[in-house]
Structure 1
Amino acid sequence: MPADIPTDSLGAFLRASRARITPEDAGIPRYGERRRVVGLRREELALLAGVSASYYTRLEQGQSRNASPEVLDALASALQLDDAERAHLGRLAGGRGHRQPARRPTPETVAPALAGLLDSLAAVPALVMGRRSDVLAWNPLGHALLAGHLRPDAPEAAATRPNMATLVFTDVDTRELYADWRAKSRAVVGNLRLTAGQHPDDPELASLVGRLTMTSTEFASLWADHQVQACATADYALHHPLVGDLTVTQQTLRSIDRPDQTLVTHTTPAGSPSAEAITLLAQLVGDRPSHHTAPPRTAQQHPDSPGVVPSRLLNGRG
């Protein structure tokens, strides 16, 4: 299993963030010089953050463990981190001490209040996702919009739950659904990065990242980039096999009682062609037989994946 999953090291995140900032971005003149490093040098970042180069080097190499909030804030400013990235940096820096042995978590169950809210959104495609992007529940429209090729009752048992991250990277139908698959895949990985920083001792999350790293070179490349992204609101253009092209606004609403669970909705502007497509999809869903008679189907494997991914691995965020 790769060493960098999902207990993101502070040093790895700093190095990746430093590599993304060019001297021009940071306002550092280059004078035509040839540079051997991508992005900022350590001493340049240290200068911008107001710390010594030796101290920053020790911090990046894991030899110094107690960076103050002021130092972290200065580094975040120098690296031009957004709010989500700043929070991620703080979690990485604050979680480097001794950890208790990880315990196998119990299977997630959808919060009753979220389940009730999901049932009330009959006209809006929606689903409830757990910490690791597992689909804990979806309404008929949510299933039809995002994963109509899977069994409607797949989320009901932990062993068969789809995982949206796995679907995005290994399932052919899901890949073809998103017009801008690369934007969706970046969002999924960025959100997993945030979750990994929040739960560094989650063995099932580590296992998920390990499987995706082994089965998808595209995921492995994005994971190695160390970018984080909070999936709150985003517009996605879809190529749906039943109702054609439409654009939905995805919104992620977090439960106060169970903060690891989110309600993800997909809305369209009233009177728009996309709204008409959702209405048509709702009509098609209403004409379908009960899911108890639907034949089972596993995820289709993407050519990038060297091995078959079981259907129980399907689901994710982003």
Structure 2
Amino acid sequence: MRPDRDSEELQPPTFGLLLRRLRDARGVSRERLAFNAGVSASYISHLEKGDRGHPTREVVDALVRYLDRIDPLSAVERRHLLDLAGLGVSEFPTVEQLRAELTEDMRRALDLHEPNLAAYVDTRWNVLACNKSYADAFPGLVRDVNILRWLLGNPRAKQVVLEWEEEVRLTVHWLRGLIAGSGDTAWSQEFLAELGRFDLFREMWDEGVAAYGRPRATMHLRDAESDHCRAIAVQMFSVFSASYPNQIQIFLGLPTLCPESDEHGGLLH
């Protein structure tokens, strides 16, 4: 990273920045986009600078229709743009609020999944509760609470997550999508400031990529005590919560059905 980047404040994604990137990628001027979307060029300029509030659904649809004609948006780009327009959920509850939603039966259910990995996490990758197998697989994560904070800041993460950099990149990209989905980026400022002390995070954040899921289900882990390597299939399911719908998920790590060749030395079971 360039030394002069250290003092710069990382910015959450905005509708205007993404619109500008999509427009520039297609070589479309503000005037041309405005004419075809039925708005003024000055309005497009204000949107890109963040001088206006969220655009209406009609305006977003018109912008997307024209950009699609030039070069179709991917499914992720389309969702990211709509989320940043404020058409997603309104806000994120705190970790404490979500933990209070976990009943004793829900917590006991985690132990029923032993020896498989099981945990409740929120959509910002905070661990709300987990079983012993999960805690053992990711040493120190319960203390660190947040998965991304653990991946970047805990030296044991590199020891147990075999494709460590790949997992970091996926989680950073997923975070960008989750921030957009909140419809309100204010909560993210403090978290981005904390993560911004890691050069790798800054580098991956600058890639500007959003993700809304894992490209592959398999995660490769090394046991911190035995040094044994294994492959687990990651499954994520939304957990019903009347107070905070779609904000709690259960993470399940199940052993893969078939052994895989382990390029890191040994056999993955």
Give the TM-score normalised by the residue count of structure 1.
Answer: 0.62
1:12 paired residue among 4, 10, 17:
17
Identity of aligned residues (%): 17
Match of 1:219, SS state, is: helix
3-state SS of paired residue (2:167): helix
Map Cα deviations across residues 94-132 of structure 1 (whole Å, 9 max, x no partner). Answer: 36xxx9xx9994723152254243222113112111243
Q: Give the aligned partner of residue 210 of structure 1.
A: 193
- Bigger drift between 68-77 and 252-261 goes to 68-77
Q: How does 1:244-255 map to 2 (within 5 A)?
A: 244-255=228-239
What is aligned with 2:5?
Answer: none
The corresponding residue for 1:269 is 256
Match of 2:78 among 70, 81, 86: 86
Structure 2 unmatched ranges of 5 or more:
1-7, 262-266
After superposition, the Cα gap between the structure-2 partners of 1:81 and 1:252, relative to the gap in structure 1 and judged at 3 Å, is farther
How much has 1:229 moved relative to structure 2? 0.9
Distance 1:266 1:105, change over 3 A: closer
Structure 1 spans left out of the alignment, 5+ residues:
20-38, 280-318
Provide the secondary structure at the position in 2 that maps to 1:179: coil
CA contact (8 A) 2:174 2:213 kept: yes
Instruction: Pick closer, same or farther for the CA change 1:126–1:80 going to 2, 3 Å.
Output: farther
**Aligned residue number for residue 166 of structure 1:** 149
Find the counterpart in structure 1 of residue 62 from structure 2. Answer: 71
- CA 46–133 in structure 1, closer or farther in 2 if over 3 Å, else same: farther
Task: String of CA shifts for 1:22-69, please: whole Å, max 9, x gaps.
Answer: xxxxxxxxxxxxxxxxx443439966x954893655543335653524
> Does the aligned pair in 2 maintain the 1:136–1:161 contact within 8 Å?
no
1:62 aligns with 2:63: no
* Cα distance in structure 1, aligned partners of 2:223 and 2:259: 16
Give 1:201 deviation, angstroms. Answer: 4.2
Give 3-state SS (helix, strand or coil) of 2:170's partner: helix
The higher-RCO structure (CA 8 Å, 6+ apart) is 1
1:171-202 Cα deviation digits (max 9, x unpaired)? 22112333322321121112211221233547
CA distance in 1, matches of 2:251, 2:204: 23
Q: Which residue of 1 aligns with 2:111?
A: 119
Deviations 1:254-302 (A, max 9, x none): 113242111111122235369xx898xxxxxxxxxxxxxxxxxxxxxxx
The answer for the alignment partner of 1:185 in structure 2 is 168
Q: What residue identity is the alignment partner of 1:267?
A: L
Please state whether the residue corresponding to 1:249 is helix, strand or coil. strand
Judge which range, 60-69 or 162-171, deviates more: 60-69
Question: What CA distance in whole angstroms lies between the structure 1 residues aligned with 2:184 and 2:32?
Answer: 30
- Tell me the distance in 1 between the aligned counterparts of 2:92 and 2:237: 28
